[in-house]
Chains A and B, each alone.
Chain A
Amino acid sequence: MKSVAVIGASLAGLSAARALRAQGFDGELTIVGGEGRRPYDRPPLSKEFLAGDVGEDVLALEADDDDLNAEWLLGVHATRLDAAAGAVQLDNGTTVRTDGIVVATGARARSWPASARLAGVHVLRTVDDALALRHDLRPGARVVVIGAGFIGGEVASTATKLGLHVTVVEAALAPLAGPLGVQLGAAVARLHTEHGTRLLCGAPVAGLLGTDRVTGVELADGRRIAADVVVVGIGAVPNLEWLRDSAIELANGVVCDAGGATSVPNVVAVGDCAAWHEPSVGWPHRVEHWTGAMERPAIAVATLLAGGRHNGTPAKPPYFWSDQYGCRIQFAGIAHPGDETTFEVGSLRDASFLAVYRREGQPVAVLGVDQPKLFTRWRRHLTAVPVPA
């Protein structure tokens, strides 16, 4: 393999480029990034960066002495892949010719339908999004956050800390009910309410109010909540459009085996756009967490350089952390509604606890709130037990 193009220049793309060099690839390396910025770290965008506590310089993912000897094409998007010809078309009219391809085009924030022209409505994914939102978080502003997931929870925490009036509306019965389950999501619910954020669960949104500028949110039950700023945190959509007429199998993400190989030779996929085969659930599973974007590219690159053969190194279980209201929430593994949960330390009523999810008696996931040391120990002992059919 004489040349590799990494399509995507965020954490997963950068990690793939680093892994290529670390694993001895000394050929031509091209990195294509849509945002026009050097790789930067997104987690602070909803926390310290949104609060204005740290500047853009702190977000840089590259170190001063990083030398990947790569050609960077920033501010351009891939528009089409012809894998058989080894050609990636870009929206500046040029084509990158390459032997190997790492797909790392990530995901974009899901926006509220037809809200593009409504001022005061925000999503949060990029530095520009964060700057625009920060500009609107003015003293006295009434903020409604739609969705109590990671982005929603952290934005609410930051905005509350800035002294704003914040309401979070969540369609599910608890925050983070998807990954944590409703019972343990309730612990996160308490964090919101104890810190002065108003939280409405089981409250789907019917629509946004206002003509030029948003004035509020209308819930499905008819209630209206006045708002000067609305933050939409309802998940992310993988950036797959450029692959639609390639031969690559796509589902909710780029379908990959457990080593990151796609259905097409010499193409691997990493990061938020990739759905790797997940042994514990038995099908491709898209992991949108930072740690996966950081760690999995080394496996995928090894697969790519070995001609598509996974060397057997398993991906670590999904892991995420979230900092909300000064509390550190950490979760690892994949929980399933039937799993048994036990508290190893504390209980739902405590500010700090550690809960373990078990399937067939084996620990499959762990949740810690302000329990970093114990969490790390449990995280290392998770096992991949198939979800019962």
Chain B
Amino acid sequence: MLEICPLAALPRGEARRVEADPPIAVFHTDDGEVFAVDDTCTHQDASLADGWLEGCEIECPLHASRFDLRTGAVDAPPAKLPVRTHEVVIVDGVINVVLDDAPPNLPPGVTTRAAGEAAL
């Protein structure tokens, strides 16, 4: 489990990029829910934490594909693959993320550091 930050440090409507491998994005929605997904859009290298948060959806800042933070599902092209979601646990007012062990859907040309090192 990865400790992120106190819930109070992430206001509603805000997002935080966390330098995991691959990076993840944690969102605090206007309704007070907290979600975590892989930060990199599945289409091209763009940070979803920089995107537009509306309800439970995050719109990629580059090409406007929207991902459902609850399921990772993408609504429309150009992204074709869902973004991987991670479980969020709030412990004593602190946001924690349980990293999913499914393979991430990273865009072409982007790899995890671990995969990059394995390839060397």
Asked whether, in the complex, the Cβ of B77 is within 8 Å of the Cβ of A61, the reply is: yes
Contact of B51 among A15, A291, A376 (CB under 8 A): A376
From A61, A321, A372, A380, residue with most partner B Cβ within 10 Å: A372
The smallest C-beta distance from A202 to any residue of chain B, in angstroms, reads: 32
Contact of A291 among B61, B64, B80, B108 (CB under 8 A): B64
Asked whether, in the complex, the Cβ of A53 is within 8 Å of the Cβ of B50, the reply is: no
Per DSSP, chain A at the interface is: helix
Asked whether, in the complex, the Cβ of B62 is within 8 Å of the Cβ of A321, the reply is: yes
- Compute how far the CA of A41 lies from the CA of B62 in the bound complex, rounded to whole angstroms: 15
A96 at the interface (CB under 8 A from B): no
Asked whether, in the complex, the Cβ of B63 is within 8 Å of the Cβ of A376, the reply is: no
Return chain A residues, CB-CB under 8 Å to B109. Answer: 48, 53-54
Asked whether, in the complex, the Cβ of B80 is within 8 Å of the Cβ of A54, the reply is: no
B105 at the interface (CB under 8 A from A): no
Asked whether, in the complex, the Cβ of B62 is within 8 Å of the Cβ of A372, the reply is: yes
A58 at the interface (CB under 8 A from B): yes
Contact of B61 among A290, A294, A295, A375 (CB under 8 A): A375
- Compute how far the CA of A373 lies from the CA of B64 in the bound complex, rounded to whole angstroms: 13
- Compute how far the CA of A54 lies from the CA of B49 in the bound complex, rounded to whole angstroms: 25
Asked whether, in the complex, the Cβ of A291 is within 8 Å of the Cβ of B52, the reply is: no
The A76-125 residues at the B interface (CB cut-off 8 A) are none
Interface size on A, residues (CB 8 A): 21
Return chain B residues, CB-CB under 8 Å to A63. Answer: 77, 80
- Compute how far the CA of A18 lies from the CA of B62 in the bound complex, rounded to whole angstroms: 21
Return chain A residues, CB-CB under 8 Å to B64. Answer: 291, 294-295
Asked if A376 meets B78 with Cβ closer than 8 Å, knowing A54-B108, A321-B62, the reply is: no
Count: A-B pairs, CB below 8 Å = 41
Asked whether, in the complex, the Cβ of B77 is within 8 Å of the Cβ of A294, the reply is: yes
From B46, B61, B63, B78, residue with most partner A Cβ within 10 Å: B61
- Compute how far the CA of A46 lies from the CA of B59 in the bound complex, rounded to whole angstroms: 25
B47 at the interface (CB under 8 A from A): yes
Type the 1/0 row for B34-63, where 1 means its CB is closer than 8 Å to any CB of A.
000000000000110111100000010111
Asked whether, in the complex, the Cβ of B77 is within 8 Å of the Cβ of A372, the reply is: no
Return chain A residues, CB-CB under 8 Å to B52. Answer: 376-377, 380
- Compute how far the CA of A58 lies from the CA of B61 in the bound complex, rounded to whole angstroms: 20
Return chain B residues, CB-CB under 8 Å to A48. Answer: 108-109
B65: nearest chain-A partner, CB-CB:
A294
Asked whether, in the complex, the Cβ of B108 is within 8 Å of the Cβ of A372, the reply is: no
Asked whether, in the complex, the Cβ of B63 is within 8 Å of the Cβ of A291, the reply is: yes
The smallest C-beta distance from B39 to any residue of chain A, in angstroms, reads: 12
The smallest C-beta distance from A284 to any residue of chain B, in angstroms, reads: 24
The smallest C-beta distance from B81 to any residue of chain A, in angstroms, reads: 8
The A295-322 residues at the B interface (CB cut-off 8 A) are 295, 321
- Compute how far the CA of A48 lies from the CA of B51 in the bound complex, rounded to whole angstroms: 23
Asked whether, in the complex, the Cβ of B50 is within 8 Å of the Cβ of A373, the reply is: yes
- Compute how far the CA of A316 lies from the CA of B106 in the bound complex, rounded to whole angstroms: 28
B81: nearest chain-A partner, CB-CB:
A63
Asked if A294 meets B50 with Cβ closer than 8 Å, knowing A54-B108, A372-B62, A373-B61, the reply is: no
Asked whether, in the complex, the Cβ of B108 is within 8 Å of the Cβ of A376, the reply is: no
Asked whether, in the complex, the Cβ of A41 is within 8 Å of the Cβ of B78, the reply is: yes
A63: nearest chain-B partner, CB-CB:
B80
The A39-69 residues at the B interface (CB cut-off 8 A) are 41, 48, 53-54, 58, 61, 63
Asked whether, in the complex, the Cβ of B78 is within 8 Å of the Cβ of A61, the reply is: yes
- Compute how far the CA of A291 lies from the CA of B76 in the bound complex, rounded to whole angstroms: 13
Return chain B residues, CB-CB under 8 Å to A54. Answer: 108-109
Type the 1/0 row for A348-389, where 1 means its CB is closer than 8 Å to any CB of B.
000000000000000000000000110111001000000000
Question: Could you jot down 18 A-B contacts, CB within 8 Å?
Answer: A15-B77, A54-B109, A58-B108, A61-B77, A61-B78, A290-B63, A291-B63, A291-B64, A294-B63, A294-B78, A328-B62, A372-B47, A372-B62, A373-B50, A373-B61, A375-B61, A376-B52, A377-B52
Residues of B participating in the A interface, judged by any CB pair closer than 8 Å: 46-47, 49-52, 59, 61-64, 77-78, 80, 108-109
* Nearest 8 interchain pairs by C-beta: A372-B50, A372-B61, A373-B50, A63-B80, A58-B108, A54-B108, A376-B61, A376-B52
In addition to A58-B108, A294-B77, A328-B62, 18 A-B residue pairs with Cβ atoms within 8 Å of each other are A41-B78, A48-B108, A61-B78, A63-B77, A63-B80, A291-B63, A294-B63, A294-B78, A295-B64, A321-B62, A372-B46, A372-B47, A372-B51, A372-B62, A375-B61, A376-B51, A376-B59, A377-B52
